[in-house]
Amino acid sequence: MKEKVSVDLGIKPISQLLIKQSVPASIGILVMSLNVLVDTIFVGNWIGSIAIAAINIVLPVSFFIAALGMSIGIGGSSIISRALGAGNKEKALATFGNQISLTLLLITAFVSLGLFFNDKIILAFGGKGDIFDPAKTYYNIVMYGVPFLGFSMMGNNVMRSEGNPKFAMYSMMIPSVGNLVFDYLLIHTFDMGMAGAAWATTGSNLVGFLFVLWYFLSDNSSLKIDWSYLILKWETIKEIGSLGFVTLARQAVVSVTYLFMNNILFRLGGEVSVTAYAIVGRMLMFALFPVFGVTQGFLPIAGYNYGAKQYDRVRESINIAIKYAAVLATIVFILLMTFPETITKMFTQDAEVLKETPAAMRWVFAATPIIALQLIGAAYFQAIGKARPALLLTLTRQGFFFIPLILILPEFYGELGVWMSFPISDVLATVVTGYFLNREIKTDLIKKSTTA
């Protein structure tokens, strides 16, 4: 990769940069989300609605372990972006080397534990009744591909920190397309059922890993894999960990949320309610892809310019990112409020699931237009290396508001209380994030702009 690519982050117009960074990120997230969406449609139509619930049991576990790689990637990428902005390539290389070693060490340990305690974990996450057997089949196979997914997530974020969003997009698209091909062959053609769905996921993760490995061994990256940088150093680990823990904590809370949701919904409505949540969960991953894309595109721009002490550009990037994300979130909101029945029918023809899911979907996405502020605000603190506020704001929605709400509201409103918890927590988290972001802009960015 030419050095000019990262330098452009501090020179070109913010709107142009945000589009350049966000569009590939959005496309990559779209394809990855479509993969999950179509995968669920295949499973629901070719295996059955119980299979959708079974996959929903496994996802939070496998994604949490894979999120170790993502958290190391995002934590290290924040350091890399600011190091490149400050002209310190040596620090960028040392950070990248430690990211590789740390990812290998942690993911191997967690996968081993996950396989050893498989039955207990599946039951804890709501894999009960008819859901248990297909969930176990899927879980045991998918876990072997989780290390490949973790490395891919780590590498994807490093690509973006270098100012190479197109390759980051490819790293998400290639395994996603591969998974759909494997799904068709293994589930539909060879009729392998849940095992076929699991092997399709594992195979696609391996394909994605091979592409990421090729990228860092090629001339496209300025961050080369060097043995001398693979030796773990405490100061580097500490810095990566403090920032990456934000992402890991968020995924941990997501996994805990699945644990509570699956168990609460199974108690209130059985397999039908768990399946409804699985369908809504897929839409949460898919429908918000443009908003997540803007957030991903915003991170290297804010981090690079903060490291280069161009604070006016940092403020501009915040404002533009929030505007773009808010417009996109509103479009998503309108579509989901209008067509929830049509969307549900894509996944299943089960009459009970078709009856319950549309109303749940409307509740879950009711506050979507305002989430842009919450996502960009939390991402900003992570981009500039302020781990503590980034962690607190990231945990605000699900940790501080959503989980308490789903434990309290169902006692008064039954299953409706579960769905009501989504928009209430969105509103509360956005208000809190808006307050702290505004205060940070006034006390840090504006102050530094006037003294720079």
Summarize pLDDT for 251-292 with one digit per residue, the tens. 888 888 988 999 999 999 988 999 999 999 888 878 888 999
The residue with greater pLDDT, 208 or 245, is 208
Q: Are the beta carbons of 436 and 389 closer than 8 angstroms?
A: yes
Torsion, CA 270, CA 276, CA 279, CA 281, rounded to 10: -80
Residue 365 above 80 pLDDT? Answer: yes
Name the amino acid, one letter, at 83.
A
Return d(Cα 200, Cα 190) in angstroms, integer.
12
DSSP letters spanning 390-416: HHHHHHIIIIIIIHHHHHHTHHHHTHH
Q: Compute the distance between CA of residue 199 and CA of residue 144 in angstroms, rounded to an integer.
A: 9
Given a contact cutoff of 8 angstroms between Cβ atoms, the answer to whether 40 and 278 are in contact is yes
What is the rounded CA–CA span in Å between residue 72 and residue 153? 9
Percent of the chain with pLDDT over 70: 98
Q: Which residues contact 51 (CB under 8 A, 6 or more apart)?
A: 43, 44, 134, 193, 194, 197
Q: Is the pLDDT of residue 165 over 80?
A: yes
Distance CA 378, CA 433 (A): 7
- Percentage helix, strand, coil, to 5, in the chain? 90, 0, 10
Q: Cβ(409)–Cβ(352) under 8 Å?
A: no
Q: How far apart are CA 205 and CA 178, in angstroms?
A: 9
For residue range 211-251, list pLDDT tens digits in order.
Answer: 999 999 998 888 877 888 999 999 999 989 887 887 788 78
The answer to pTM > 0.85 is no
> What is the b/e burial string over 369-392, where b = at least 16 CB atoms within 10 angstroms of the residue's CB?
bbbbbbbbbbbbbbbbbbbebbbb
Tokens 């942690």, located at residue: 106
Highest mean pLDDT among 22-31, 203-212, 391-400: 203-212
pLDDT in tens, 380-429: 998 888 878 888 888 899 899 999 999 999 999 999 999 999 999 999 99
Helices and strands (DSSP H and E) totals, the chain: 20, 0
C-beta of residue 380 within 8 angstroms of C-beta of residue 437: yes
- CA dist 246 and 77 (Å) reads 13
Give the rounded percent of residues in the chain with a pLDDT score beyond 90.
54
Residue 28: name the closest of 129, 155, 198 by CA: 155
Compute the C-alpha angle 16/294/277, nearest 5°.
160
For residue 142, the one-letter residue type is: V
Region for residue 226 given its phi and psi (left: phi exceeds 0; alpha: psi -120 to 50; beta: otherwise): beta
C-alpha 213/C-alpha 10 separation (Å) is: 28
Is 94 a residue whose pLDDT tops 70?
yes
- Span between the terminal Cα atoms of the chain, in Å: 31
- In this structure, how many other beta carbons lie within 10 angstroms of the beta carbon of residue 310? 19
- Specify the residue for token string 């079974």: 54
pLDDT band at 2 (very low <50, low <70, confident <90, very high): very low
Which pLDDT score, from 0 to 100, does residue 81 have?
A: 83
What is the DSSP-derived secondary structure letter of residue 233?
A: -
